[in-house]
Structure 1
Amino acid sequence: MTALTDRPPPEERARRRVTSVEVLCAVLLVAVLVQGWVRDALDVPALRTGATVFVAVCVQALPFLVLGVLVSGAIAAFVPARVLRKVLPRRTAAAVGVAGLAGVALPGCECASVPVARRLLGQGVAPAAALTFLLAAPAVNPVVLVATAVAFPGRPEMVLARFLGSLATAVVMGLLWARWGKLEWIVDRALRRLPESGPGGARWRTFAEIARADLVEAGGFLVLGALISAALNVLAPQSWFDALGGQWVLGVLVMAVLAVVLALCSEADAFVAASLTALPLLPKLVFLVVGPAVDVKLFALQAGTFGRSFAVRFAPVTFVVAVCCALAVGLPLLGGAR
């Protein structure tokens, strides 16, 4: 009788829906069970090459993606925003520099950095410092740098160039906002004080929910990026990449636009860039600096959180600054290296 009375009412069981995580697990299970049949039925060299690239990108990037979302969930649940507010200097220029370096100690993905920046604004942090942290956290944290080192083995200059280019982008945007930004561009709801996470179990629930949501969303973008990377390696003629490799200006522009369109997670984008072996390092660096700073996903998140008036001003300027900072750092460090 006890087991029967503890069951939820029929209407609650009827309302239960299949979640995206369950769908993903089911798809992976089916893929494992039928992979032999699919391999035999579609024994085409191009498809096998594409499948190899797709699996390699996903397998290499997934551990860093999981670690990144776990860290970002822990920050959102257990690190009060007032901690940053207390350590930031009063002078705007100094606060921008400290907020940029704080991205090294407080990692998070792009999706998590937007709500964290909103929480900072609600705690009274200067908008210039909050926006600097928004750009720095997903780009210069240890998880991203280690992932870049794994994706580009034997290329420490690539890791250094990514760190310096991304940090410069965040700091320059913070200083530009401090000089010309206007508070009325940000909607009022983003400036209201937000409640802190509850104690005990509530914090753990917050951690689990944020980590799960970020993993599902970022994992979807990883799969999309791996598919596009595989398609580019298989469908795009080698002459296209050779042309981009010989004309670095065109290669930089194409990779910058590709970073905006693909909207990859910063913990996984290095593996996609490294898979494009025909391109020199400089266009790849532009891809890695632009992606965590501005893409279609971030534009939508920023427009929904801070308002469309903010997003249509902030995103285009960020794109230009990110490309310029990547070139300023990459030209002396990487040059025409491949």
Structure 2
Amino acid sequence: MIRMIDPAGPRTADEDLLPPLGWAPRRTPAPGARAVRTFGALAAVVVLGRLWAAPALGPRALDAWTTVFVAICVQALPFLVFGVALSAAITVFVPPSFWRRALPARPGAAVPVAGALGAVLPGCECASVPVAGGLMARGVAPAAALTFLLAAPAVNPVVLVATAVAFPGAPEMVAARFGASLLVAVLAGWTWALLGKNEWIRVPARPDPAGGGRAEAFRQAMRHDIMHAGGFLVVGALAAATISVALPAAWVAGVAGVPWAGVLTLAFLAVLMSICSEADAFVAAGLTQFSPTARLAFLVVGPMVDLKLIALQAGFFGRRFAVRFVPLTFVLAVGVSVAAGAVLL
């Protein structure tokens, strides 16, 4: 048996712990660097897509696509930042004992209370997702947090005042929107409390600050959420802009005269157009070729189910959650809108 002798001599125990020559540790890119690269990649895709599609679509369609995309992002970003800041404040500064006192212990009883809290807090659907995530991180039952998520952008005072201005002399439309939206939020919360499973939803986690107290925790929570949600907002805006430009206007006008088709058409349009809840009433008021019930469906579905909201929900709570909660909310919103329209409009 021949033994190989190391020419450098025997290695000590400490030398055995050293890495081999030429080895270097893999550097993990910082979150900020990853964000810059992601933004650069998205910008490159948009520019290349414009160059590739320009000969086929023409300048008007491309200008319309750019306008819709930029409008959605600019319109939603302030509300997203507001929601992220509020979510971070809830997580860091509000003790868990507050929610134990404010909300009933039983999820079934906490759901309508959470819906009432959503009615007094102005906010857009982009803001409601991170706020609901912050509530879950503080121990609030998912059913109650999801009820708040649906109710806050749909029945808050700002939205109701905008609806009253868009539909002058029609207080029944304001009442129908408030009642239908709140009922959908509560029904969705109760359904999730009865049928939802813990493995279907990913409760957002908050990064633990290495030091610095509450101010540092607030900064890290805001940074974590805005980096996490911003990309999904852009994806939703890209999809909404593409569909808004590609959808033929003549096809929409052709189904307006059929009652059930009009309701479904405006419900799906609300999902695809992804208009902010503070502005959708003015769009609905201009859709005069559709019935009042169809326009009510547009107002109820939009703040609860749209492309950017679906992307945000999938990003915060996981795809397993989104594929279950989004269809549930859509079906409830359409059904309740039809019933409310038959009674109030």
Map 1:15-54 onto structure 2 (within 5 A). Answer: 16=33, 18-21=36-39, 48=60, 50=61, 54=65
Q: Could you state the TM-score of these two structures normalised by the residue count of structure 2?
A: 0.64
SS state at 1:282 partner: helix
Rg (Cα) greater in structure: 2
Corresponding position of 2:229: 214
Give a deviation string over 1:50-96, Cα, whole Å, max 9, x none. Answer: 56755665676555412311211111111236344431134655522
Give a deviation string over 1:198-247, Cα, whole Å, max 9, x none. Answer: 61134134324533543443244234323432333xxx253x33332111
Question: Contact 2:164/2:170 (CA < 8 Å) preserved in 1?
Answer: yes
Letter in structure 1 aligned against 2:152: A
Corresponding position of 2:117: 102
Q: How many residues align?
A: 307
CA distance in structure 2 between the aligned counterparts of 1:156 and 1:118, rounded to whole angstroms: 36
Corresponding position of 1:224: 239
Corresponding position of 1:298: 310
CA distance in structure 2 between the aligned counterparts of 1:149 and 1:60, rounded to whole angstroms: 23
Identify which of 274, 280, 284 aligns with 1:264: 274
Question: Contact 1:68/1:107 (CA < 8 Å) preserved in 2?
Answer: no
Question: Contact 1:255/1:286 (CA < 8 Å) preserved in 2?
Answer: yes
Corresponding position of 1:89: 104
Task: Classify 1:115/1:54 alpha carbon distance in 2 versus 1 (closer, same or farther; 3 Å).
Answer: closer
**Higher relative contact order, structure no. (Cα contacts within 8 Å, ≥ 6 residues apart):** 1
Residue 292 (structure 1) shift: 3.8
1:187 aligns with 2:199: yes
Letter in structure 2 aligned against 1:86: R
Map 1:42-81 onto structure 2 (within 5 A). Answer: 48=60, 50=61, 54=65, 57=68, 64-80=75-91
1:133 aligns with 2:145: no
Task: Classify 1:215/1:272 alpha carbon distance in 2 versus 1 (closer, same or farther; 3 Å).
Answer: farther
CA distance in structure 1 between the aligned counterparts of 2:71 and 2:246, rounded to whole angstroms: 18
Letter in structure 1 aligned against 2:332: V
- The percentage of aligned residue pairs carrying the same residue is 39
Identify which of 328, 331, 337 aligns with 1:317: 328
Letter in structure 1 aligned against 2:255: L
CA distance in structure 1 between the aligned counterparts of 2:121 and 2:305, rounded to whole angstroms: 20
Residue 100 (structure 1) shift: 0.6
* Structure 2 segments unaligned to the other structure (5+ residues): 1-25
* Structure 1 segments unaligned to the other structure (5+ residues): 1-10
SS state at 1:69 partner: helix
CA distance in structure 2 between the aligned counterparts of 1:42 and 1:214, rounded to whole angstroms: 33
Task: Classify 1:43/1:57 alpha carbon distance in 2 versus 1 (closer, same or farther; 3 Å).
Answer: closer
Question: Contact 1:64/1:268 (CA < 8 Å) preserved in 2?
Answer: no
Corresponding position of 2:263: 252
Letter in structure 2 aligned against 1:74: A
Residue 188 (structure 1) shift: 8.8
CA distance in structure 2 between the aligned counterparts of 1:58 and 1:303, rounded to whole angstroms: 20
CA distance in structure 2 between the aligned counterparts of 1:195 and 1:56, rounded to whole angstroms: 36
Letter in structure 2 aligned against 1:140: V
1:328 aligns with 2:342: no
CA distance in structure 1 between the aligned counterparts of 2:89 and 2:123, rounded to whole angstroms: 13
CA distance in structure 2 between the aligned counterparts of 1:300 and 1:62, rounded to whole angstroms: 13
Question: Contact 1:100/1:167 (CA < 8 Å) preserved in 2?
Answer: yes
Q: Could you state the TM-score of these two structures normalised by the residue count of structure 1?
A: 0.66
SS state at 2:229 partner: helix
Residue 264 (structure 1) shift: 2.8
Question: Contact 1:64/1:267 (CA < 8 Å) preserved in 2?
Answer: no
Give a deviation string over 1:281-332, Cα, whole Å, max 9, x none. Answer: 5324323322443467638945983783x66654443322111222233345
SS state at 1:221 partner: helix
1:200 aligns with 2:215: yes
Which moved further from structure 2: 56-65 or 278-287?
A: 56-65
SS state at 1:139 partner: helix
Question: Contact 2:244/2:273 (CA < 8 Å) preserved in 1?
Answer: no
CA distance in structure 1 between the aligned counterparts of 2:72 and 2:88, rounded to whole angstroms: 24
